[in-house]
Structure 1
């Protein structure tokens, strides 16, 4: 049976001839691993973010792992993270031998609730890692204040937040280090890839060594001074990233314009809450995530929209509900109520630069009809 794609997809990366030409130019050189294109890509991101250093990595997950190691997180330490995030956030902590400590979120922004942070700090805490949910920066002044009081580094999981800002400062420059993702669902893509940004010279030196097998290159050969990793990004991927950076302003303009169109059209639809954007922040709208009222079965809404040719999905994951974390940590839902609700009620609707306002109308009409049918079933 041939799978039929929905008429309105959840996401479609914006790619074209520029990316094809960029890859072809790298293939022609025969220099395929990390090289000059990766360095050029790093320089572009560092300039955008406003940090002294940027290091391309094979993914955001390896970037987070590398940042944790470079910031001094050791086996047995604790790292405080929001419960509501893609599990890669916690997986990287565990891969470093540390223990994730989950805190609840602000239900309006889906970000770490700073008022819950102090209670999560213990004598074993080695770092705080907020996540900029769906491209909206967390409340970094409040988070950094707690971190400073305890002498802790702050690592931004900025996977979705390239070019987002908080009080005029770019995501990725708001903590000790920041990590971006270039997965196809993110703001720009390299296929797979990530980037660490930092202005901390000591952290930068550690990343440079650990990223490439723990090696320091001499005049003739390398000396291996640490047990490092192979977390490099190839020049093939980096060349795609360079071409994508040329599209960044257009991509952001389209995403924000489409998000505004959703805000306008959904204002009169009962049963949902649209994304909140505090005045001191800019949002990339990597995803446009609604919160459905608890009267609705979110999963049933996803299936009903699929039948109407509209692809949707959950927001992201309440990690304590996932089998591995549930079995290991046994955290009660009552301890993380906002994250638990978001896991069950948040809905991501289609948003990508190639969409038209007519596509937005189609999504909103399908959602309005689906919610109306659900109300009719309940009333009956």
Structure 2
């Protein structure tokens, strides 16, 4: 690949974009330097301006809200369903104001949000839906792939995601006008002419290098095998954890396919999740929290001052969700060991 002479965005990036957009069923794909820059770029291209509001779930990695703030907009946090860890669509309508300019559901841990009602409410108010699909490559909803469920979707290729380019992201969309805006804004706001570029907007340098993209092209060739391994391991966990007191395994709604970027269980309130993490680590098994309830984090708490009772499900998930090891190289025997150790550590708290 180095012999091609391309190190910045080039033919490998174009091929990576083609493969991901084809997989999702989207007309266009735009490789970016990360999912965070992809979300920021998608928000800008969708017309979100300083002072506007963007509705997001409270339970997500803070990059979701950070990109909104970086655009000068205001994140409006909505509570989640504990059964899916996704934005609760029943609460969506009441979050709209005259300043709402976009809705950005997150496909938590690889499970697509309930996009039917989310899209319906957004359409009533005439605002675009941007999927934070960072974890959801390989997931689907009612027969359609994540990344093609709204006006645009954004994937992550961080090393902890389904496939990796080291660092990188991708925006997918079938909206031609949105695609044109993304194309210009991604590369310094430039439009290439016959002799030189014209700079028509104050854009960004959010491109993905051909070096990173080449890794992504190879990874896309392995996607089916990667997903098969993740689904097999998730099934094994469900079997091993069945009947373990105090542990609720992930549920997958009818019509959805979970990508299982992470395998996240919910512990009963009486269980000290952080003590479980310590106990598992003492036995050489690394676990961690699910993700973050953003209103509990210092920056968002100090800026927005949202009380826990306003977002009770996200608050509970922040304190009781536990991520167990899941990666394609994990063996069935190791899943059994993790599950048995978890049951033992929880039992020792009683």
TM bin (shorter chain): over 0.9
Aligned residue runs from structure 1 range 167-178, under 5 A: 167-178=142-153
1:316 aligns to 2:273 (yes or no):
no
Q: Distance in 2 between matches of 1:363 and 1:199?
A: 42
Deviation at 1:280, TM superposition (A): 1.0
Aligned partner of 1:20 in structure 2 is none
Q: Distance in 2 between matches of 1:295 and 1:163?
A: 35
1:162 aligns to 2:137 (yes or no):
yes
Aligned partner of 1:56 in structure 2 is 31
Q: Distance in 2 between matches of 1:30 and 1:191?
A: 21
1:116 aligns to 2:100 (yes or no):
no
Q: Distance in 1 between matches of 2:82 and 2:60?
A: 13
Aligned to 1:374, what secondary structure does the other structure show? coil
Aligned residue runs from structure 1 range 228-307, under 5 A: 228-307=203-282
- Unmatched 5+ stretches in structure 1: 1-25, 376-380
Q: Distance in 2 between matches of 1:58 and 1:114?
A: 31
Per-residue deviation, residues 103-122 of structure 1 (Å, max 9, x unmatched): 00011000000001001000
When normalised by structure 1's length, the TM-score is: 0.92
Aligned partner of 1:43 in structure 2 is 18
Per-residue deviation, residues 110-157 of structure 1 (Å, max 9, x unmatched): 000000100100000000000000000000000001001000100000
Q: Distance in 2 between matches of 1:233 and 1:181?
A: 12
Q: Distance in 2 between matches of 1:273 and 1:283?
A: 16
Question: Over aligned residues, Cα RMSD in angstroms?
Answer: 0.5
Aligned pair partner of 1:84 in 56, 59, 76: 59
Per-residue deviation, residues 226-260 of structure 1 (Å, max 9, x unmatched): 00000000000000000001110011000000000
Aligned partner of 1:347 in structure 2 is 322
1:182 aligns to 2:165 (yes or no):
no
Q: Distance in 1 between matches of 2:303 and 2:326?
A: 35
Aligned to 1:197, what secondary structure does the other structure show? strand
Q: Number of residues paired by the alignment?
A: 350
Q: Distance in 2 between matches of 1:192 and 1:172?
A: 19
Deviation at 1:30, TM superposition (A): 2.8
Per-residue deviation, residues 72-110 of structure 1 (Å, max 9, x unmatched): 000000000000000000000000000000000011000
Deviation at 1:315, TM superposition (A): 0.2
1:28 aligns to 2:3 (yes or no):
yes
1:210 aligns to 2:185 (yes or no):
yes
- Unmatched 5+ stretches in structure 2: none
Aligned pair partner of 1:129 in 104, 109, 113: 104
Q: Distance in 1 between matches of 2:330 and 2:64?
A: 30
Deviation at 1:221, TM superposition (A): 1.0
Q: Distance in 1 between matches of 2:50 and 2:306?
A: 22
Deviation at 1:59, TM superposition (A): 0.2
Q: Distance in 2 between matches of 1:354 and 1:166?
A: 27
Q: Distance in 2 between matches of 1:30 and 1:217?
A: 20
Q: Distance in 2 between matches of 1:219 and 1:235?
A: 24
Aligned partner of 1:327 in structure 2 is 302
Aligned pair partner of 1:360 in 328, 335, 339: 335
Q: Distance in 1 between matches of 2:61 and 2:250?
A: 18
Aligned partner of 2:172 in structure 1 is 197
Q: Distance in 2 between matches of 1:151 and 1:279?
A: 28
